[in-house]
Structure 1
Amino acid sequence: MSATARKSTSMTLDRDLLDEARTFGINISQAAENGVLSAVRRERARRWREENAGAIADYNAMIETAGVPLARFRKF
């Protein structure tokens, strides 16, 4: 993790899961932060795909109609 500003927070976790994580020596704060980071990245990607769906569809239609740009220069 990078050395960024931290903010204390409170959260509720399943007791058995928390106990097992502690048994394994898992850093709960780091694991939670990694999980939130993963969820944020997935949501960013989902929103990007949603926001750019029209442009992607237009580009794919162009490729189907006109072919790949500069295809004549491809070596494969």
Structure 2
Amino acid sequence: MNTTMRSRKRSTNISLDAALVDEAKMLNINLSAALNSALEDVVRAERQARWRQENKAAIDAMNKFTAEHIIPGSSAALRVFK
């Protein structure tokens, strides 16, 4: 998700490995930015997984239809939905 769309920030308490936090600080890593970015990645992946699960029947039906109606000489690999 685009971080520029999210202007509001919320303070939160989290628990992290102390040694990892110390090393990140030593390396001048912005913890808030790094954690926000990582959380965006996890949220995006979870949304994609849920969408695929919610639409599994339709995807399977489309793949079956495509497999049954392949045009001779065409590449079947180009018509498989995932």
Q: TM-score, normalised by structure 2?
A: 0.78
* Alignment match, 2:35: 32
Q: Which runs of 5+ in 1 are unaligned?
A: 72-76
* Alignment match, 2:64: 61
How far apart, CA to CA, are the structure 1 residues paired with 2:30 and 2:46? 24
* Alignment match, 2:10: 7
Q: TM-score, normalised by structure 1?
A: 0.84
Structure with more contact order per residue of length (Cα contacts < 8 Å, sep ≥ 6): 2
How far apart, CA to CA, are the structure 2 residues paired with 1:64 and 1:35? 38
How far apart, CA to CA, are the structure 2 residues paired with 1:47 and 1:64? 25
Which whole-Å deviations, capped at 9, do the CAs of 1:5-54 have from their partners, x for residues lacking one? 11111111000000010111000011111111111001000000000100
Q: Which runs of 5+ in 2 are unaligned?
A: 75-82
Runs ≥4 in structure 1, deviation > 6 angstroms? none
Percent identity of paired positions between Structure 1 and Structure 2: 35
